[in-house]
């Protein structure tokens, strides 16, 4: 599943980039989605930014203007995003109610910037002016008389900047400069650019959060337990897994925390890797899930057999993530940017370079049954190719059992 958003640059009067406005899309067609209301659009934008694209990668450090409806502001949606990275753009459909004013005061007190979109002058908005930073003037709708009314009304509020939007001609730009506009937006400068990324569902996000926790120096068992308890699907899979025939346990598990402790750190890491594979390969053949797991296990076994170090967890992750682009139909570079991995691990996964990639490359040769190159490559890296083959078979068997345990 993909997430789409359009971004249109907002420039200062010297035509330097000031910010981007972000607009929801549902395809590569540059139009607002059908059958969706403004509240849903705001929610989807926030969800997409929080879980998929991320503001940093989308705006490259610039501010993001994001449309908020009356109800979404009342309900505190802006607080889900970083105050230093967004401008809360109040849609023109919002009514200047007392509740909206109180919400704006709260936003301002907490350090958020506020803009009024497609502003049409109404004296009741003057109560909002002390808390507003930017007012957007729509050049497709506003008459010269209305421009002058707005400028007059804003004289007691010199802190408010004007943004001229829907600028489509040079004369519009010149007019905006003449009336004191600081910022400009419109087709005259640039059309919105569609950005596409992979959309993650809540369970995938939960698994990614688990993974992040297990890559910390010290694991917070309380937080790990909470992540499992917040997702009933993951909780069920954990309880089923810990009592699977693989472990031959007789004890009855009565809580998520008990299941986590019984599994132990190493096996729990493997289980989370298994969850990751299952969640991110939804709709894919089971054979792909098994291949992903067998790669991780093979790399881990090879490191354990040939390199007396503590790098087995890294080797497992390298093997596991080597097929993530096939799992989610995404770009490997974009996906790696989303994950908190060491550069050496990313190089091994993306470019198959570095010592950590040796066993991944060997695994790929085994998958192709390329026996001639297997023996040659084993000689190059000074390992026993017969032992490697046995470990490859062990990894296949291990993966098949784990896939069965989580189905």
Architecture of domain 2-198: Alpha-Beta Barrel (3.20)
Geometric angle at alpha carbon 158, from 153 and 162, rounded to 5°: 75
Residue 16 parent element (H or E): none
- Residue 52's pLDDT is 47
C-beta contacts of 254-262 below 8 A and 24+ residues apart: 256/225, 256/228, 256/229, 257/221, 257/225, 260/221, 260/224, 260/225, 260/228, 261/221
How many C-beta atoms surround the C-beta of residue 67 within 10 A? 22
* Domain spans in the chain, listed from the N-terminal domain onward: 2-198, 201-279, 281-407
Is 59 within 8 Å of 85 (Cβ atoms)? yes
Q: Mean pLDDT for each consecutive 10-residue tract of the chain (407 residues)?
A: 70 88 60 58 63 60 86 87 88 88 94 91 90 92 90 93 91 92 85 60 71 69 82 79 70 77 79 74 76 88 76 74 78 73 83 83 89 89 89 89 70
Element (H, E) at 309: none
Q: Which two tokens stand for residue 344?
A: 């050496």
SS3 category, 184? strand
Q: Residue 392 — φ and ψ, nearest 5°?
A: -65, -45
Q: Quick one: pLDDT at residue 271?
A: 80
How many CB atoms within 10 Å of residue 28?
10
């Amino acid at each position: 599943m993909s997430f789409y958003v359009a971004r249109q640059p907002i420039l200062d009067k010297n035509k330097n980039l000031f910010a981007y406005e972000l607009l929801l899309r549902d395809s590569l067609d540059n139009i607002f989605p059908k059958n969706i209301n403004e509240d849903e659009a705001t929610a989807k934008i926030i969800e997409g930014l929080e879980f998929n694209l991320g503001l940093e990668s989308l705006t490259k450090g610039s501010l993001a203007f994001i449309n908020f409806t009356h109800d979404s502001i009342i309900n505190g949606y802006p607080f889900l995003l970083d105050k230093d990275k967004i401008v809360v753009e109040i849609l023109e459909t919002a009514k200047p109610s007392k509740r909206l004013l109180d919400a704006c005061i709260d936003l301002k007190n907490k350090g958020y910037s506020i803009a009024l979109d497609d502003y049409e002058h109404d004296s009741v908005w003057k109560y909002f002016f002390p808390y507003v930073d930017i007012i957007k003037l729509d050049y497709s709708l506003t008459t010269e008389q209305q421009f002058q009314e707005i400028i007059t009304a804003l004289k007691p509020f010199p802190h408010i900047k004007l943004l001229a939007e829907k600028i489509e001609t040079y004369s519009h730009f010149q007019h905006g400069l003449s009336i004191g506009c600081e910022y400009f937006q419109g087709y005259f400068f640039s059309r919105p650019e569609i950005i596409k990324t992979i959309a993650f569902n809540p369970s995938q996000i939960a698994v990614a959060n688990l993974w992040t926790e297990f890559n910390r120096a010290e694991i917070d068992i309380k937080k790990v337990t909470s992540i499992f308890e917040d997702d009933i699907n993951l909780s069920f899979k954990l309880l089923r897994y810990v009592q699977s025939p693989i472990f031959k346990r007789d004890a009855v598990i009565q809580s998520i925390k008990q299941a986590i402790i019984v599994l132990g750190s190493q096996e729990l890491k493997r289980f989370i890797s298994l969850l990751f594979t299952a969640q991110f390969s939804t709709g894919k053949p089971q054979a792909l899930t098994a291949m992903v797991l067998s790669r991780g296990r093979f790399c881990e076994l090879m490191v354990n057999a040939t390199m007396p170090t503590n790098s087995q967890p890294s080797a497992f992750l390298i093997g596991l993530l080597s097929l993530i682009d096939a799992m989610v139909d995404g770009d490997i570079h974009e996906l790696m940017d989303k994950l908190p991995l060491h550069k050496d691990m990313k190089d091994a996964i993306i470019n198959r370079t570095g010592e950590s990639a040796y066993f991944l490359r060997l695994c790929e040769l085994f998958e192709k049954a390329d026996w001639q190159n297997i023996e040659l490559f084993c000689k190059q890296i000074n390992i026993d190719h017969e032992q490697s083959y046995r470990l490859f078979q062990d990894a296949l068997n291990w993966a098949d059992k784990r896939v069965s345990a989580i189905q």
